[in-house]
Structure 1
């Protein structure tokens, strides 16, 4: 918790960093109203790939997290599509897609009036995505517990991602979001996964040839 409190200023002062967010994580597959104090996530945008690689390895705030962690994992992404806003801004600049694994990010501010209905659906969806044989990596994070939530997942292909998103309980939840207006702000983005570094749960989830 001290790391969370002390990192915001150094993050803002990191040379080359653009839009960035410091988030906590939930228990289980990561998407839960119950906080997991052992896991912290940093999302950051950079003007170019070289800066992203260098700063996520050597900038003091990132190096301090890595030094104090029992395990750390970093994924380098290129945005291929994005719609919506995060804290009132469009944070991602889109570029061309390339072959390889894909990542999806969903971020939403949940209206307090629908919190019970929203969290009533989440455990079922969380179990489904966590048990999907196609999902390579998945975590749920958030800026404010219960209200500001983010899901991040990595898939081997666009077909496998779409198969989950457009069928079953997930598709039903998306319809409810649209029909009942659950979110006061939302953002949906997709990315090409360029490379990764480190481990998660003792393994390298993506087994990519490239390295950060």
Structure 2
């Protein structure tokens, strides 16, 4: 089992239409910068979308994301003054940064367990979750048909503060980042809402995923805005 990182950050940058080509280009340019950044354990440059169907139709070219697992909070702080954040600051009309501490994680992402392993820790205050899956090609159609009822129910779930579809750039939305008022609200959706429970049942029975990950985090800070508001 891997040791949990000292800190996990999620950046969301909203860009105007004129900056969309430059933002897409940064998805390639920033890979090299992240590979050399001190303290980076795991990093993913991500496209975003509504997460309502998890198809390309969901994609939002005006919002881009960066998820990083850090050795320490000090490494994350140093990154904030570096060239990647400065470059995005020149493009973006708004920015949201979520700083998190892993509570539990199950599964893998690109063969790694970037957020540690299973845990039973509960916490007071807001929490976040990341779900991510790589679909089996022959099971994709059934998965896409099953998603809309769950996505619609998620938007109505009590305690939800933000939900964003995420996928490894440049295309393909394979997961969700969600922010919740507290741990109880997240658990209520995950374990008691009928549409989600039905998809969980079918996932096991029909083996939709070649790889999957579910991680839960304590939210330490939320800074900035997304869609003109702080969630």
Shared fold by TM > 0.5? yes
Number of the residue aligned with 1:209: none
Q: Distance in 2 between matches of 1:97 and 1:151?
A: 21
RMSD: 2.0
Higher mean alpha-carbon deviation, 130-139 vs 107-116, is at 130-139
Asked if 1:174 is matched to 2:197, the reply is: no
The alpha carbon displacement at 1:105 in A equals 0.9
**Alignment check: 8 A CA contact 2:50 2:164 kept:** no
Asked if 1:69 is matched to 2:95, the reply is: no
Q: Distance in 1 between matches of 2:144 and 2:207?
A: 15
Note closer, same or farther for the CA distance 1:71–1:6 as it changes in structure 2 (3 Å cut).
same
The alpha carbon displacement at 1:97 in A equals 4.9
Number of the residue aligned with 2:168: 143
The alpha carbon displacement at 1:32 in A equals 4.3
> Matched residue pairs, number?
203
The alpha carbon displacement at 1:126 in A equals 1.5
Asked if 1:194 is matched to 2:220, the reply is: yes
Number of the residue aligned with 1:15: 38
**Which of the residues 90, 95, 99 maps onto 2:124?**
99
SS in 2 for 1:160: helix
The alpha carbon displacement at 1:29 in A equals 6.1
Higher mean alpha-carbon deviation, 154-163 vs 184-193, is at 154-163
Higher mean alpha-carbon deviation, 108-117 vs 31-40, is at 31-40
Number of the residue aligned with 1:155: 180
Q: Structure 2: where are the runs of 5+ without partners?
A: 1-23
The alpha carbon displacement at 1:31 in A equals 4.6
The alpha carbon displacement at 1:36 in A equals 1.5
- What is the TM-score of this pair, normalised by structure 1? 0.88
**Alignment check: 8 A CA contact 1:29 1:130 kept:** no
- What is the TM-score of this pair, normalised by structure 2? 0.81
The correspondence of residues 127-138 of structure 1 with structure 2, limited to 5 A, is: 127-138=152-163
Higher mean alpha-carbon deviation, 24-33 vs 65-74, is at 24-33
Q: Structure 1: where are the runs of 5+ without partners?
A: 206-212
